[in-house]
Structure 1
Amino acid sequence: MTISHGADTLAIVPPSRLSLQRAIWRWHFYAGLLCVPFMILLAVTGSLYLFKDEINHTLFAYRTVVANPGTPALSPEELVDKALEGRPEAAATAYAEPADATSSAKVTYRDDSGKYYVYLDPYSGAVLDTLRADREPMWLIKKIHSLELFGTFTNRLIEAVGGFALILVITGIYLWWPRGQSGGVVTVRGTPARRVWWRDLHAVTGAFAGLVIFFLAASGLPWAGFWGKQLNGFATQAGLGYPTQLWDNTPTSTVPLQDVVSKAGWTVENSPVPQSALPYTHAIGLDRAVAVARGLGIAPGFEMALPTEENGVYTAAIFPDDLSKERTIHIDQYSGRPIVDLKFGDFGGVAKAIEFGINVHQGQQWGLANQLVMLATCLAVVLASVSGVMMWWKRRPTGKLGVPPYPSDSRVYRGLWIVAIAVGLAFPVTGLAIMVMVALDLLVIRTVPPLRRAFG
């Protein structure tokens, strides 16, 4: 039997359990050390994105809100013409309907310098604001959240962090689990001057918010560049995503939906945009395309992507808070016939579950209550991260990093390798990172004396 002081409690622990506890503690430490800055970044940017509509309608109300609604509204084609006035080199690529009587309309255009958004008063046609699409605040926050703004490598780092977050929650719950102690389970002992206060704050925060943190990590992984794409492809091929048979009787392009609309749902973002059928006669125009979409009952506030090729289509798409109203309609630009009309109810089981998880993740499913729960969880992530760093700082010996000790029974690492392989099969990017971490710990840090002392 061995006396353990690892969690600031005095407990009699069998050697086998102590070895496992030390191994998990060491793994939890390494995962936390790697993830802390990213977890804080995710929490802060995620908190802001939860309230994107509120931010847009207050800080940026000058371009999103019409102060004095009039009647009648200008037609979509008239609004596009207003947006392109004085820009002979520009080509409109999309038109977004006002969501309600007090919302602005939005026209997207491209020119040689990039893509731009023009916000307009739908009644007078006055331009409220124009900005580059890649400088729109909520777009920037979302891209920073995923680190996609900085390239593929950093986006893969966030994907690995998402998998590590799952491990942090599981290992954290194991380390928190009461084993005869009373303090640090639901209460915080001591004062901030003592390490035990930070340890308890870290443990209690993680324990109470752990399940929601786990949910946030799990529901965020479908967006991951590698794993999410594989899952999306599997769901589609297995008939559990969007119904591919809707495309069976129409020619399709190689352009995915996410390339033609500003926002595409997870399920359909990689679905191919169809092509208009022969013969190519007189195009129906934007006004009629919008009327067709309205006539089919699409929810207000939808975006209409304009065809850019002779065989292109009009694409109406909306992904609102209410999942039941999620819809994508591809319209032949000559006949006005809806080629593909895809509703949320047409999705397979996996797609519906993931879309629901994403909706909750973004605080959209149950209104303000959903937003506040997610915000509280983001704050808990920051608190757990800061308290984890503080308790490590107070525990570390002078001149050392203060890494938790190696397990006395090296056989425990066999189990960790099995876990690493299993995680690698489920989440390849995270699994690769785990295997590198464990290999460095066993083959480098443990065998090089200066490193072993520093990490001891």
Structure 2
Amino acid sequence: MSDITFGRSAASSPTRAADLYRAVWRWHFYAGLLVLPFMITLALTGALYLFRDELDNLIHRDLKQVAVEETRATPSAQVTAALAAFPGKAVKFTTPATPTASTEVTVLTETARLAVYVNPYTADVLGSLPDRGTVMWTIRTLHSLKYFGTYARYLIEIAGGWSILLVGTGLYLWWPRQQTGGVITVRGTPARRVFWRDLHAVTGLFVGVVIVFLAVTGMPWSGVWGAKVNEWANGNNFGYPAGVRVDVPMSGEHLDHVAKTTWSLEQAKVPLSPQAAPGAGQGMQPIGLDRAIATFDGLGLTRGYSVALPQKASGVYSGSVYPDDLAKQRVVHLDQYSGTPLLDMSYADYGPLGRALEWGINVHLGQQFGLANQIVLTIACMAIILLAVSAGIMWWKRRPQGALGVPPMPSDPRVFRGLIAILVVGGLIFPLVGASLIVLLILDMAYLKLSRPRRARA
């Protein structure tokens, strides 16, 4: 970057401390340009998704809620009813999480994959939605940007990395420098820029740690970093977390392809039913869904678990449940001919990295600490929106007429070296952040060259 002194002589150039402040301020501004639009979207959708169960049960009450009765229909009878209403192939059976909840049967039809809701007591079909077609699933895909395709999800990693930079540079800019206000109090009125500066700084001080936490725990869903770390974390023992070793035939199918699962188990491979191997168990009959459900209940899976149904002669019944309590997360694969558990995994079986990441994800989703978790993160989401709004107003009040209002370059560009070094380290950890850093450096250099003639004419 060029050395721009803005007409000042070397003798009157700002001090090194002032130069560093300018450099940090400039990159805080750029980070805000990149991140704040995403942060508003993520905060809005994230706050809604924290209450996914409550909102889905309210919005889709006619499909998800039933009256409690004395006797229940068998699982197979519920599947039969679902297929009679929506012909196709049943691929998953989700048990009711509560006595007033309906059963969800996932049906693959000729034209769509449907979630069919069935009254577990009477086997009456209540209706259907596209699989993962509830309002909250839509909010989730919007939150992860998955709604807009694979490449849009890469922006999550970029936004996450720059959010961390935004907090770090913001903390430096907030740091008290003999001012009498704006540290933990707000000065002035909304008509003055200092009010919005203080509101932005003080809000950022209290919510900054939460932003970093949400950025880090959101990274597992990113398109590049999350996928690569997942492969690395699950690179041994047939893709299972460390400590889980089994001596059963394994398929090439990943668990994430057959059932909704946790981040740590996405790469876990699904075992084969041994009796289906050539020369073994010839003539044996599958145990059927009713017995499989009875076996899962006997093993103590928490209600609300889903069962991926075997689609091949070598397939298995895969029961999985991911409740708010991490200790109750569990995946069990049953031999479809004998009902024997081939593999039984729980949170305790995850490796150290898997346990840490799953804990972080659980808190990120507002699950780990119940209602308190939801309330704290909702307040944080509201604070993030306030940060973005106050930043926009503060910039609007400060910007020169007809200009972008980029904070000025330091008189000595060498102060950028340490800051750029920190950014490069972050870029090595998060590759897409590093790529965006290079693009931004190029754009900044171009902006300086384009703005230099205007300053000369002025």
- TM-score, structure 2 length as denominator? 0.92
1:268 aligns with one of 261, 265, 270: 265
Tell me the residue number matched to 1:60.
60
SS at match of 1:237: coil
Contact 1:93 1:108 in 2 (8 A): yes
Distance across 2 between alignment mates of 1:211 and 1:15: 31
TM-superposition CA deviations, 1:260-301 (whole Å, max 9, x none): 11x211110121122111235211111111111111111111
Tell me the residue number matched to 1:300.
303
- Report deviation, 1:245: 6.2
- Report deviation, 1:191: 1.2
Tell me the residue number matched to 1:201.
199
Q: Which amino acid aligns with 1:309?
A: K
Contact 1:247 1:274 in 2 (8 A): no
Distance across 1 between alignment mates of 2:36 and 2:392: 8
Tell me the residue number matched to 1:324.
327
Q: Which amino acid aligns with 2:329?
A: E
Tell me the residue number matched to 2:416.
413
TM-superposition CA deviations, 1:132-179 (whole Å, max 9, x none): 125321111111101111111111012200111111111111111111
Contact 1:169 1:210 in 2 (8 A): yes
1:97 aligns with one of 85, 95, 107: 95
1:433 aligns with one of 411, 414, 436: 436
Distance across 1 between alignment mates of 2:389 and 2:442: 27
Tell me the residue number matched to 1:84.
83
- Report deviation, 1:448: 2.6
- Report deviation, 1:14: 6.7
Q: Which amino acid aligns with 2:57?
A: H
Contact 2:40 2:385 in 1 (8 A): yes
- Report deviation, 1:247: 5.4
Q: Note the residue ranges of structure 2 that are not aligned, 5 or more in a row.
A: 1-12
Matched, 1:314 2:317: yes
Tell me the residue number matched to 2:347.
344
Contact 1:420 1:435 in 2 (8 A): no
Q: Note the residue ranges of structure 1 that are not aligned, 5 or more in a row.
A: 1-12
Contact 2:86 2:107 in 1 (8 A): no
Tell me the residue number matched to 1:4.
none
Distance across 2 between alignment mates of 1:15 and 1:153: 44
Tell me the residue number matched to 1:125.
123
SS at match of 1:57: helix
- TM-score, structure 1 length as denominator? 0.92
- Report deviation, 1:248: 4.3
Distance across 2 between alignment mates of 1:450 and 1:102: 69
Matched ranges for 1:164-179 at <5 A: 164-179=162-177
Contact 1:195 1:394 in 2 (8 A): yes
Distance across 2 between alignment mates of 1:311 and 1:122: 29
For this pair of structures, how many residues does the alignment match?
A: 439
SS at match of 1:411: helix
TM-superposition CA deviations, 1:96-122 (whole Å, max 9, x none): 011121111110011121210011110
Matched ranges for 1:212-227 at <5 A: 212-227=210-225
Identity %: 48
